Amino acid sequence: MRENPSQFVPLDVPSLQSRKSLFGLDAEALAACMVEAGEPAWRGRQLAEALYRQRIAELDAITTLPKALRQRLASEGWQVDRPAIAQVFQSADGTERYLVEGQCGDGLTVETVWMPEGDDGESGDGSDAGGGSNGNGSETLRAPSYPRFSAERVGNHQLGSTQGLGAPGLDSETREHSRQRATLCVSSQVGCAVNCDFCLTARLGLQRNLTAGEIAGQVLAVFDRHAVEVGRDRVNLVFMGMGEPFLNYDNFMDAVRLLVREVGLSPQRMTVSTSGIVPGIERFAAEPPEFRPKLAISLNAPNDAIRSQIMPINRKWPIAAVIDAVRPIKLRPRERITFEYVLLGGVTDRPEHAVEVARLIRRTGLPAKVNLIAWNPGPGIEYATPQTEAVEAFRQTLADAGIPAYVRKPRGRDIYAACGQLKRTVEG
Ligand code: SAH
Ligand code: SF4
């Protein structure tokens, strides 16, 4: 196991203060901003409508504001500054991985992944990730065929260069009658400080936190690319990209509130995954249900001994402490806590591990389900992908113990878009 070179100190970017970004501010902050500019407060609501409902990405295109006001705001340095897709990688399985440029002017990009037709359980309850995900849904979105691992650069904050790559979801033939179903995997930090031994993102260390605008902006940038209609299309959000959301708690929750209140998404279609940051889980447990996504815990091991070896964070917050922090959450009817479990061949995938996991989860008494994830390889990481039979046997043991368990299909492995593979990999 490697030493832990990272730190748990959040790295925010001071230069952001000097950049006047409208995107990321909620209606109240936008109203305050308008009042400061000598305008009535209701202009803030107009701005919120334009930014988050109409998804207008240029100040000058917000025609609900008088031209003179737009010009004045621009001359004072205000801009929309919505994160934009800079590069697209397309997988043979329809998954797309994006590099998204942030708001901080430091050139760092984050990764966002679009998985058409859901993800076999990533959404948190195993059933609503998309009817087509089990292969027998009748309403499946017809995915265009993709060249294997094609990369597309998107210049100057626009999506002009999709020609010839079969820009997905946008043509009327594809959108015909059906609602889109997809899962969008969103990042919360650039890199990660938690240093799990099996995860490629860990190798970056923590570079910085994302702002609320950068977290919510990933969602809107991808929604625009796929012409997602909020309220019609069924897109689940999973905060399972780069980073540990609960080590960037305030910005993460600000983003959730923006997405719920201003964009109009349901928190019940959002799942946040944590490696087990106890103070974060405690705060999360106190969030009002109207702004609380579902929760997934990356358990990944049957006991503290193995977990501490593969996830150093376990030495600070062992399994029992994590479970105690989860307990006060007031679950909605039928809501379950998801336990994610990465199967590392020969390390965490043995039959006795499955028995131990089943016992552990039953002892918690929590309504739970398990998402099993076969380990996705990454360069320089010395683990093995488990045998298919071992994965199925593991799932069966849990199911026999009365615990709903799903095997998550790896998505976009060929473009490094699968779980734990996000590391701003540009080359094939
Ligand atoms: N930091 C958060 C969320 C992002 S990681 C967390 O750890 O929960 C999302 C999921 O990917 C976690 O469950 C993590 O255990 C899993 N994961 C990390 N590396 C992986 C790999 N190489 N193969 C499969 N799953 C992996
Ligand atoms: Fe961070 Fe999650 Fe990767 Fe662990 S698994 S290093 S917490 S991103």
User: Tens of pLDDT along 39-84?
Assistant: 999 999 999 999 999 999 999 999 999 999 999 999 999 999 999 9
419 is catalytic: yes
Give residue 409's pLDDT. 81
* Phi, psi (degrees; rounded to nearest 5) at 134: -95, 10
Give residue 177's pLDDT. 54
Residues 215 and 319 in one domain: yes
Average pLDDT over residues 27-46: 95
Distance CA 192, CA 7 (A): 9
> Ligand 2: which atom is nearest the Cα of residue 275?
7
Task: Output the six-digit token pair for 221.
Answer: 């940038």
Q: Per-residue confidence at 139, pLDDT binned at 50, 70, 90?
A: very low
Does residue 240 line the site of ligand 1, with CB under 6 A? yes
Write the pLDDT tens digit of every residue in 97-132: 999 998 888 888 989 999 998 654 444 343 333 333
Number of domains in the chain: 2
> Ligand 2: which atom is nearest the Cα of residue 311?
4
Residues 118 and 36 in one domain: no
Residue 11 lies in a domain: no
SS3 assignment, position 206: strand
Residues 131 and 242 in one domain: yes
Does residue 378 line the site of ligand 1, with CB under 6 A? yes
Q: Which of 376, 369, 386, 349 is nearest to 95 (CA)?
A: 376
Residues 325 and 394 in one domain: yes
Residues 43 and 99 in one domain: no
Which residue is catalytic, options 104, 192, 199, 419? 419
User: What CATH number has the domain bearing residue 151?
Assistant: 3.20.20.70
Average pLDDT over residues 400-427: 78
352 is catalytic: no
Residue 385 lies in a domain: yes
CA of residue 414 relative to chain centroid, distance: 19
| Mean pLDDT of the chain, nearest integer | 85
Distances (CA, A) of 242 to 142, 197, 316: 28, 15, 21
Ligand nearest to the CA of 339: 1
Residue 135 lies in a domain: yes
Distances (CA, A) of 3 to 11, 193, 209, 312: 20, 12, 22, 9
**334 CA → ligand 1 middle, Å:** 25
Residues 286 and 376 in one domain: yes
Q: How many residues does the chain have?
A: 428
Q: Per-residue confidence at 12, pLDDT binned at 50, 70, 90?
A: low
Residue type for 310, please? Answer: I
**222 CA → ligand 2 middle, Å:** 23
* Phi, psi (degrees; rounded to nearest 5) at 344: -100, 120
Residues 408 and 314 in one domain: yes
Residues 91 and 64 in one domain: no
Residues 66 and 92 in one domain: no
For residue 300, what are the domain limits? 83-415
Write the pLDDT tens digit of every residue in 259-308: 999 999 999 999 999 999 999 999 999 999 999 999 999 999 999 999 99
Residue 6 lies in a domain: no
Does residue 193 line the site of ligand 2, with CB under 6 A? no
C-beta separation of 272 from 160 below 8 A: no
Among candidate residues 53, 79, 105, the one where a domain is terminated? 79
Whether 147 shows a pLDDT value over 80: the answer reads: no
- Which of 239, 248, 273, 281 is the best mutation target for the ligand 1 pocket, counting ligand atoms within 8 Å of the beta carbon and taking the most? 273
Output 64-68 pairs: Cβ under 8 A, ≥24 positions apart. none
Residue 8 lies in a domain: no
Task: Output the six-digit token pair for 170.
Answer: 């946008």
| Atom 3 (ligand 2) nearest CA | 199
Among candidate residues 57, 79, 101, the one where a domain is terminated? 79
